[in-house]
Amino acid sequence: MVLHGFLTIGKRVMEKTSSGNFFEDFEIGSTIQHALPRTVTESDNALYIALTGDRYPLYSYAEFAQSLGYRRELINDLLVFHTVLGKTVSDISLNATANLGYAEVLFLRPVYPGDTLRAESTILGKKENSKSKTGTVYVHTKGYNQYDEVILQFYRWIRVNKHYPDAITEWDEKPEMPSEIRIEEYQPPTELKRTGLNPAITGGKWFFEDYEVGERICHTDARTIEESDHMQATSAYLNLNNMHFNQHLMAHSRFGKRVMYGGHVISIARSLSFNGLENALGIIGWNNSTHVHPTFGGDTLYAWSDILEKKDLSGHDDLGALRIRLVALKNLDPTQPGVALKFMDPEKEKEQYHPNVVLDLDYYILMPKQI
Amino acid sequence: MVLHGFLTIGKRVMEKTSSGNFFEDFEIGSTIQHALPRTVTESDNALYIALTGDRYPLYSYAEFAQSLGYRRELINDLLVFHTVLGKTVSDISLNATANLGYAEVLFLRPVYPGDTLRAESTILGKKENSKSKTGTVYVHTKGYNQYDEVILQFYRWIRVNKHYPDAITEWDEKPEMPSEIRIEEYQPPTELKRTGLNPAITGGKWFFEDYEVGERICHTDARTIEESDHMQATSAYLNLNNMHFNQHLMAHSRFGKRVMYGGHVISIARSLSFNGLENALGIIGWNNSTHVHPTFGGDTLYAWSDILEKKDLSGHDDLGALRIRLVALKNLDPTQPGVALKFMDPEKEKEQYHPNVVLDLDYYILMPKQI
Amino acid sequence: MVLHGFLTIGKRVMEKTSSGNFFEDFEIGSTIQHALPRTVTESDNALYIALTGDRYPLYSYAEFAQSLGYRRELINDLLVFHTVLGKTVSDISLNATANLGYAEVLFLRPVYPGDTLRAESTILGKKENSKSKTGTVYVHTKGYNQYDEVILQFYRWIRVNKHYPDAITEWDEKPEMPSEIRIEEYQPPTELKRTGLNPAITGGKWFFEDYEVGERICHTDARTIEESDHMQATSAYLNLNNMHFNQHLMAHSRFGKRVMYGGHVISIARSLSFNGLENALGIIGWNNSTHVHPTFGGDTLYAWSDILEKKDLSGHDDLGALRIRLVALKNLDPTQPGVALKFMDPEKEKEQYHPNVVLDLDYYILMPKQI
């Protein structure tokens, strides 16, 4: 349809909307209190289960959580993570072109339905990138509950666009990022009493002692994610980046379509991993999370877990930490012959991730020992 | 597959199902108590957020609502509207061919999670249309809470099919519809204390004084709506008109597909409008809402707000009313050059809405002043 | 993309994941306590409404339920059924190739938001099938609340794969399955007071006396089900069978796509049946449920009800039981001429279900009498 004779609109377009911070805007040492704290409820857990298929009973069975010493069922730890991260998006990553890495993501306290979560971030450093169009910003984020207790913290670095791509800023302050969680210092939630665990509830046969370093668990389940599913989840996290929601815009991107929020891929992989890790009592944290390739609506996600390390926890002889590489693949069953995390590319003469791998998460879970 | 040899079914098909009221059935002056009151809960808010991306903290952050004088977070005002309207559908608009207009839509009291909403409608008038196949019915609807307090009211007129299109009824009672909300008589909720507002919570920088009549705010966000999204939302509102749900039927309609419930378009536009109107403390009401063109699953919605008027509220020197034209467009970014609400059609020699405009809502919001 | 030079993975793939029980594994007389009890909440009801369009006020209107003698609104009875059945899947039917039948499905006590549901199943018998690849397993399942009261029970028999299809087991213990609910022994919930029913709430005009044996009610509404809708619902029921979720796998099945969980078809049909059965006070139980043909994402479901029997309930002169055949069809409006449940296939010389029929449910509902 050809439109002609447009009226001029005769209106000043005002800049009342926020388009987020650019590289130049971040001030090293400053702390940003993010807007939009959120009361998380049992409804958010219910919706999370519908959108991910998560089965861990700690988040859906009140009496089970109570038998472990908690007041009632908990808010799913990844829902806590997404809620806290979601708050930072409008200040930190609205102009990000890449999420470069995480370090020392640590879940510090249980979150209950009815708690209100808020987030703050400190800018630790920033460094202009070589071609000067963008820069890397290093951030430390803390999530708090309504009692001002820290319930989650993480380091994160992202590549952010500059306002003025051609003006060289010479910012070059790259802070030291923690390389790994100091697992020997980690303490489980004080409420947690492993003795209350009844494995007939979880259906799990395996405890800390049963897992072996080097072992691979191919989780049998898989899940196809529709556009509605990931958009509803990402809306629930209040992470409203256009790349996840705006098909009209993303049709002209290099992907040609909306990209699923990487955190939701973690959620799906974690939910699939229930089959084989049923007795896990929550996520301790992660060292890093690599979003290897993008995931799109219509993709089917599979997952495997590689047991990387087994760590005792000082002062807790009935609990241990399993360090796991959780890998998610799209549209490929990992039990098929020849599937590997990486392969040697003979042309480039270096290792590459398998093209169907979408997530490589190096994380710790809390696993009860036999008693 | 060819079927032959059908058995005759030998059953009387009884008329136990309701097919709604036709033009002849409405009795002027009568009041209909609509069926299916509904207890609205925090779950409905959570689902609403997942389906719309709404970020206003009044509906998702208990302590923020309390700081403003409310008991706890409120049920989203548009969720209240849809719930009340949804109840009227089976009595009023099941045989409607068009929603012709609204007048004096007014939100009168806050609704809390756990409240039960019911609705009643009074038939104010009806007028047979010139070609006699249909008639216009004028209705006044009130929504109540469980304490029999009116929480919402609106006037509405709709084009309704006749039972007997060829029998002339000569009904010609067209009542006066209020042309505009009498904003000078409007009183905000008695609980509301603007002084408690902390703009660090909303993330909003702008107050009543900052908005200028004539200003346009192009909200940066956009949202693609899938069939699942609008059907789930419209089911939650218990508005089960087949045109929103039955693809098998609508494939043979002039659209060839399901049509999104117009109220859900208002919800999406309102949710998008958060970016630029963060400090808004709820909707006062609207003068009219024109659903310019239909919206379908797969469409991407954008929105802008034109500030039409600024009104003081008598007895409230810390609050004002902003009259806004909220415009939703499908599949067109309103910041593109040449986008206008209407254009002059040289053939028809009159103004037409831009073909991508789907909603033109003339409404008032409550906006705090600087203190 | 051609991959070459794969690294060998050098990891032992351990069998920590559960792949469910096979025919040989079931021990007659044994009772399985199923894992993953679940606290069901008002959020689950809200989500259920969004995903099915269910309108029965007993599950969404607190004061209505109270007027009938209940403490508050109930958890939808089909949501109770799916939750209990969902728990049995990983032990009973992960290797099932067909759900052959149900008998004496009985809802025994109301379930409230906040209750925790668990399930146990007793193996009643098993019988190797003639071609020896599979066997039929007969199970009796009970659902309990947190007070160890039975809230639901049912018999079910399924065709299950064998571990070793070529090894003949000679198991041939086929127990007697109840042919029908003994409706004369049925007692409604003790809390229920029919006198409190206000038909203005339900919008229903019809009571027990108004329904006639032989009558057919074609429910006017219909609903198209998207992949997201049935996957979200089935996730909420924690029934994570790959056939409902894994498009990548099911693309190679004889269907070429995911198959909707049959129980969700019952839910949709039951929700559609509100129009004409508005005063129903819940499901008593069912004699059998035949899932005639599979349903897929994108299908539009219609439903009709045939009144099969009317039964008085001893000791309750204000309540009766209606025995109904609830039929769901896909992509066919049952009010079209020539639509029948079955037709005579002249080639096979026997009756066949109409190819668009997907569900034939022989069930009882509790219907109030006029007072």
Q: Is there a contact between C214 and C337 (Cβ–Cβ < 8 Å)? A: no
pLDDT of C79-124, one tens digit each? 999 999 999 999 999 899 888 989 999 999 999 999 999 999 999 9
B-contacting residues in C 278-317 (Cβ below 8 Å)? 278, 298, 300, 302, 306
In a mutational test of the A interface, the residue from B48, B49, B225 whose CB has the highest number of chain A CBs within 10 Å is B49
Quote the pLDDT of residue A14. Answer: 47
Model confidence at B275, pLDDT cuts 50, 70, 90, reads: very high
The answer to whether the Cβ–Cβ distance between C300 and B246 falls below 8 Å is yes
Q: How far is CA B285 from CA A182, B92, B105, B153, B200, in A?
A: 55, 21, 5, 9, 26
pLDDT of B205-230, one tens digit each? 999 999 999 999 999 999 999 999 99
Structure tokens, C64:
């209505």
Chain B partners within 8 Å of A36 (Cβ): 55, 57, 60-61, 201-203
Nearest CA in chain C to A44: C43
In a mutational test of the C interface, the residue from A43, A44, A49, A275 whose CB has the highest number of chain C CBs within 10 Å is A49
Chain A partners within 8 Å of C226 (Cβ): 226, 228
Whether the per-residue pLDDT at B231 is higher than 70: the answer is yes
Quote the pLDDT of residue B1. Answer: 32
Lowest mean pLDDT: which of A3-12, A68-77, B251-260, B358-367?
A3-12
Span B102-116, average pLDDT: 97
Beta-bridge partner residues of A312: A320
Whether the per-residue pLDDT at A139 is higher than 90: the answer is yes
Q: Which residue has the higher pLDDT, C241 or B281?
A: B281
pTM equals 0.95
Nearest CA in chain C to B257: C224
Distance CA B360, CA B337 (A): 20
- From the CB of residue B19, how many other CB atoms can be counted at a distance below 10 Å? 11
Helix (H, G, I), strand (E, B) or coil at C229: helix
Chain C partners within 8 Å of B46 (Cβ): 43, 46
**Percent of chain B surpassing pLDDT 70:** 96
Quote the pLDDT of residue A168. Answer: 87
Structure tokens, B224:
């693609």
H or E element in which residue C50 lies = helix C42-52
Q: Number of C-alpha atoms within 13 angstroms, CB side, residue C329?
A: 23
H or E element in which residue B46 lies = helix B42-52
H or E element in which residue B118 lies = strand B116-128
Model confidence at B159, pLDDT cuts 50, 70, 90, reads: very high
Distance CA A123, CA A119 (A): 13
Structure tokens, B106:
């007014």
pLDDT of C57-80, one tens digit each? 999 999 999 999 999 999 999 999
Chain B partners within 8 Å of C276 (Cβ): 16-18
Ordered domains of chain C (ranges, CATH): 24-163+178-368 (3.10.129.10)
Nearest CA in chain B to A237: B50
ipTM: 0.93
For A336, residues 6+ apart whose C-beta sits below 8 A from its C-beta are none
Whether the per-residue pLDDT at B2 is higher than 80: the answer is no
Quote the pLDDT of residue B243. Answer: 93
Farthest CA pair distance, chain C: 80
Whether the per-residue pLDDT at A302 is higher than 70: the answer is yes
Structure tokens, C315:
């000791």
C208 touches chain B (CB under 8 A): no
A235 touches chain C (CB under 8 A): no
Task: Quickly list DSSP for A221-270.
Answer: EEEE--HHHHHHHHHHTT---HHHH-HHHHTTSSSSS----HHHHHHHHH
- From the CB of residue C360, how many other CB atoms can be counted at a distance below 10 Å? 18
Helix (H, G, I), strand (E, B) or coil at B162: coil
- From the CB of residue C143, how many other CB atoms can be counted at a distance below 10 Å? 27
Distance CA B300, CA A300 (A): 24
**Residue keyed to tokens 């019911």:** B118
- From the CB of residue B287, how many other CB atoms can be counted at a distance below 10 Å? 21
Angle B79-B81-B84 (CA atoms, 0-180°, nearest 5)? 105
B257 touches chain C (CB under 8 A): no
The answer to whether the Cβ–Cβ distance between A201 and C1 falls below 8 Å is no
Structure tokens, B100:
């012709």
Nearest CA in chain B to A240: B53
Q: What is the DSSP letter of B78?
A: H
Span C204-222, average pLDDT: 96
Task: Quickly list DSSP for B268-285.
Answer: HHHHHTTTT-TT---EEE
Name residue A44's amino acid: D
**Residue keyed to tokens 């378009």:** B265
Distance CA C40, CA C58 (A): 16
Q: Is there a contact between C71 and C145 (Cβ–Cβ < 8 Å)? A: no
The answer to whether the Cβ–Cβ distance between B43 and A43 falls below 8 Å is yes
Beta-bridge partner residues of B224: B300
Span B107-116, average pLDDT: 98
Q: How many angstroms away from the CA of B246 is the closest CA of chain A?
A: 18
Question: Chains B, C: CB contacts under 8 A, how many?
Answer: 163
pLDDT of A309-324, one tens digit each? 999 999 999 999 999 9
For A299, residues 6+ apart whose C-beta sits below 8 A from its C-beta are A224, A225, A260, A330, A331, A358
pLDDT of C263-272, one tens digit each? 999 999 999 9
**Percent of chain C surpassing pLDDT 90:** 85
Task: Quickly list DSSP for A156-202.
Answer: EEEEEE-SSTTS----EE-PPPPSS--GGG----TT--GGG--HHHH
Distance CA B195, CA B211 (A): 20
Quote the pLDDT of residue B347. Answer: 87
Distance CA A336, CA C6 (A): 13
Burial C212-239, CB ≥16 within 10 A → b, else e = eeebbbbbbbbbbbbbbbbbbbbbbbbb
